[in-house]
Amino acid sequence: ERKASGTVTVSVNASAGGSATVAFPTGLFTAADTLDISLTKLSGGLAKYIPYALGISATGMTVGLYSGDGSNGGGSVAINWTASVRRP
């Protein structure tokens, strides 16, 4: 199974959210792959923030946090991520 995982820290600084870029290992995935993405927010502050992924490609993705209610906050949240090739 082709799979990559790691932890990314997303900073929120007086805005309704924040984001960070994740790069996948070179050559692990191809443009033809359909990827399953799993995000798990680690314990800590900013409990109301919801993790999301966008811009998913063979080379990486953007992981972000949204406050859910549009309000401002501040701090950093570590997010565990996993990307794997979806099996038919």
- Rounded to an integer, what distance in angstroms lies between the CA atom of residue 36 and that of residue 22? 15
pLDDT of residue 43: 64
Residue 20's contacts (CB-CB under 8 Å, 6 or more residues apart) are 8, 9, 10, 11, 62, 63, 64
Q: What is the mean pLDDT of the chain?
A: 87
pLDDT above 90 as % of the chain: 55
Residue 44 has pLDDT above 70, yes or no: no
pLDDT digits (tens, 9 = 90+) for 56-81: 999 999 999 888 777 777 888 889 99
The answer to whether 77 touches 10, Cβ cutoff 8 Å, is yes
